[in-house]
């Protein structure tokens, strides 16, 4: 079956609409913010919100998340609830309030300074503070109380997002063994040697085993999780069924590769207004008729932006005939800037770009153009369409949606994707030019190969990748998880 928004809704109505569905995530799908004296409702550009929004609309469920907009408190009722989406209120958003200390310890601290680097093999050392861990535990308990409260006397399903809420399923199962719980882990699960350094590794594993289903993007991460459990705690790992049995309860461990809304991006990208937009960008950035490379990433060390710039430098050293003929545009919002390692990385990127620029630039040409701001999804499509080559060079990435967005927007079958082997996407997009971001010379040669690829080869590769993303779209991801959950209820 080809999945789309409509049949996802039907599957939900048929399978789970008789029971309550609660989604829990750190980030909320709708934020209220002040814009002068006015309050505006905005949606963070996240693939997860996009996939789960139709699910929530179809079953009129409840989404529980940290209320982080500065006008969020102004827009909820006395039970901290607000109906969303604003244009057609169908489901409930229940906001959880966190103090500055809670946000620091749980979000910036344990989640992003501890778990994020622990799970990404990116050679950035995790920081583990006992005080952050204690706050992380308390915040997970706080979320659990709100879930229990929202579930009331209903029986139902809970779908938890990501690494911010490792302990939630176990707390919930103790209080309400009747509810069926799934969690999706959006980042990689490392090998057991890497995981061993976490001082609270056992608690985290026990915490996750409260789930009935635990999903990762790829089978390899499932395998790593099973191995970690096998070597760390007292539990039975069943490698045949891909499951763990602990205290008589089974957790199924399954791959669900996340994706994007292919049809939506594909149809937006065909709007003729983009031809004008692309011309405008070419003029504004003085690109003339030069070949263009594009990168789109949150500024994060796991995305391998430094390695990408080094490869571009090597490319110009080796192939000076491209000086003045190729420019690389790096786009992306600054992220997690409160954290020292991110601030440092941000400075490093800027200095490296300046160094490379100084080395090669001419009066009317820059080798690397860095634009560290937030672009609208439509602006991103202009850049995807403009690119002769799109580069994703993550050192480690659960999936990487940028690669799939690029492929979805290239209805012209043009453009070449250079993709790191260490992304989940590389498993599906095997027609991309795969690279190891640490192998600078090969990476540099791959840029040359991409720029010189014959049109027919480009089209063949792109067509195949587009078929893969068209079929394995984000509605399929959500539909598969919902179908598995229903089997257990």
List residues binding ligand GDG (CB under 6 A): 45, 47, 186-187, 258, 296, 298, 332-333, 374-377, 380, 397-402, 405
Q: Nearest distance from residue 145's CB to ligand GDG, in Å?
A: 27
Instruction: Note whether 181 and 175 are within 8 A (CB).
Output: no
CB closer to ligand GDG, 207 vs 398:
398
Q: Are strands 180-184 and 213-216 parallel, antiparallel or unpaired?
A: parallel
CB closer to ligand GDG, 58 vs 218:
218
Q: Nearest distance from residue 470's CB to ligand GDG, in Å?
A: 17
Q: What angle do CA 263, 268, 272 make, to 5 degrees?
A: 135
Report which secondary-structure segment, H or E, holds 21: strand 20-25
Q: Nearest distance from residue 375's CB to ligand GDG, in Å?
A: 4
Q: Nearest distance from residue 47's CB to ligand GDG, in Å?
A: 5
Q: What is the rounded distance in angstroms from the CA atom of residue 287 to the CA atom of residue 293?
A: 11
Instruction: Note whether 207 and 169 are within 8 A (CB).
Output: yes
CB closer to ligand GDG, 341 vs 400:
400
Nearest to 244 by CA among 259, 256, 234, 257: 234
Q: Nearest distance from residue 236's CB to ligand GDG, in Å?
A: 29
Which residues, at least 6 apart from 143, have a Cβ–Cβ distance to it below 8 Å?
A: 24, 64, 96, 165, 168
Q: Which residues pair with 38 in a beta bridge?
A: 35
Q: Nearest distance from residue 427's CB to ligand GDG, in Å?
A: 12
Mapping DSSP to helix (H, G, I), strand (E, B) and coil, where does residue 141 land?
helix
Q: What is the rounded distance in angstroms from the CA atom of residue 299 to the CA atom of residue 402?
A: 13
Q: Nearest distance from residue 230's CB to ligand GDG, in Å?
A: 25
CB closer to ligand GDG, 26 vs 62:
26
Q: What is the rounded distance in angstroms from the CA atom of residue 390 to the CA atom of residue 316?
A: 17
CB closer to ligand GDG, 106 vs 406:
406
CB closer to ligand GDG, 156 vs 215:
215
Rg (alpha carbons) of the chain, rounded to whole number? 23
Q: Is the peptide bond before 470 cis (omega within 30 degrees of 0)?
A: no
CB closer to ligand GDG, 297 vs 445:
297
């Amino acid at each position: 079956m080809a999945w789309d928004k409509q049949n996802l809704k039907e599957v939900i109505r048929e399978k789970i609409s008789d029971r309550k569905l609660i989604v829990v995530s750190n980030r909320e799908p709708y934020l209220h913010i002040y814009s002068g004296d006015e309050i505006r409702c905005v949606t963070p550009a996240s693939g997860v919100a996009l996939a789960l929004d139709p699910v929530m609309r179809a079953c009129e469920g409840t989404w529980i998340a940290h209320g982080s907009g500065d006008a969020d408190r102004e827009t909820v009722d006395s039970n901290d609830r607000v109906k969303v989406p604003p244009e057609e209120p169908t489901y409930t958003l229940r906001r959880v309030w966190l103090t500055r200390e809670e946000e620091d310890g749980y979000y910036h601290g344990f989640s992003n300074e501890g778990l994020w680097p622990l799970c990404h093999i990116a050679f950035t050392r995790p920081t583990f503070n006992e005080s952050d861990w204690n706050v992380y535990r308390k915040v997970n308990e706080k979320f659990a109380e709100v879930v229990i409260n929202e579930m009331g006397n209903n029986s139902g399903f809970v779908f938890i997002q990501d690494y911010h809420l490792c302990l939630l399923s176990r707390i919930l199962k103790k209080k309400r063994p009747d509810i069926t719980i799934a969690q999706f882990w959006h980042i990689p699960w490392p090998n057991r040697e890497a995981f061993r350094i976490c001082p609270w590794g056992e608690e985290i594993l026990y915490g996750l085993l409260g789930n009935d289903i635990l999903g990762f993007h790829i089978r390899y991460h499932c395998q790593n999780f099973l191995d970690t459990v096998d070597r760390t705690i007292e539990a039975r790992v069943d490698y045949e069924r891909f499951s763990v049995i602990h205290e008589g309860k089974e957790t199924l461990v399954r791959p669900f590769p996340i994706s994007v809304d292919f049809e939506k991006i594909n149809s937006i990208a065909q709007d003729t207004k983009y031809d004008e937009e692309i011309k405008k960008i070419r003029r504004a950035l003085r690109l003339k008729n030069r070949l263009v490379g594009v990168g789109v990433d949150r500024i994060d060390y796991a995305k391998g932006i430094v390695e990408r710039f080094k490869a571009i430098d090597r490319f110009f050293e080796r192939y000076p005939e491209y000086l003045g003929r190729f420019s690389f545009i790096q786009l992306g919002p600054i992220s997690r800037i409160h954290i020292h390692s991110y601030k440092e990385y941000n400075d490093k990127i800027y200095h490296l770009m300046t160094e490379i620029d100084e080395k090669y630039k001419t009066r009317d040409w820059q080798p690397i153009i860095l634009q560290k701001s937030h672009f609208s999804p439509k602006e991103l499509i202009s850049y995807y369409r403009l690119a002769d080559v799109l580069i994703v060079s993550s050192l480690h990435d659960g999936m990487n949606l940028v690669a799939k967005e690029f492929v979805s927007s290239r209805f012209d079958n043009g453009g070449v994707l250079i993709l790191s082997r260490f992304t989940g996407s590389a498993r599906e997009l095997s027609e991309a030019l795969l690279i190891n971001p640490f192998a600078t010379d090969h990476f540099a040669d791959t840029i040359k190969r991409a720029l010189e690829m014959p049109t027919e080869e480009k089209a063949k590769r792109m067509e195949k990748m587009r078929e893969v993303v068209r079929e394995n779209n984000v509605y399929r991801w959500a539909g598969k998880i919902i179908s598995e959950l229903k089997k257990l209820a």
